[in-house]
Amino acid sequence: MADIYHKYYSDRKTVLTVNNKSMFYNKFNVIPEDKFFYIPAISYQTFPDAVNAQVQSILSGKNDIIILSYQNAEKKQIFPYGIKNREILQYLSDHYQMIYEQNHIQMYIKQNFAINEQASNSAQ
C-alpha cells in the first residue's frame, strides 16, 4: 500500500488511518492532522471521544486519503457496535474511490484526486 501511495499520491498529505493502523503515517511519511489519530484501548462507553472524532473526520471530507481497517471484516464493521457504520460506508462510496484492498484493510482516495490522476496518466 505504501508503494501505491508513494508512486501516485505522495502529494496528498491529509491522511486518516482508522482503527489503530497508525504505522501508515510512518510508511507514508506524513504527520497526523487529527487529535485522535488512533483509538486507545479503552471501551467506547468509557471514552467515546476518539471514535467519535474519527467518525467526524471521515464524514467531514477533509481527508485526501483514508485507510480503513475493519474491526470485523466479515460484517464490514468499522467501529464498536457498528457506530455510524452504514453512514460511513455510504459516504466513502459517494465521495471516495477504493484503490486498494487486502484482508480487512482498504485504502480510499478522494474521488476528485483519483479522477485527476487518471486524466493526467491518460495525457502522457
What's the confidence (pLDDT) of residue 122? 39
Q: Phi and psi at residue 22, in whole multiples of 5°?
A: -70, -10
User: In the chain, what are the domain boundaries?
Assistant: 2-119
Angle at 104 between CA 101 and CA 107, to 5 degrees: 40
Q: What is the crossing angle of helices 85-95 and 49-60, to 10°? A: 30
User: Which helix H or strand E contains 65, and what residues bound it?
Assistant: strand 65-69
> What does the mean pLDDT of the chain come to?
84
What is the pTM assigned to this prediction? 0.83
What's the confidence (pLDDT) of residue 114? 56
Q: Write out residues in the chain with pLDDT < 50, as ranges.
A: 115-124
What's the confidence (pLDDT) of residue 61? 92
What's the confidence (pLDDT) of residue 113? 63
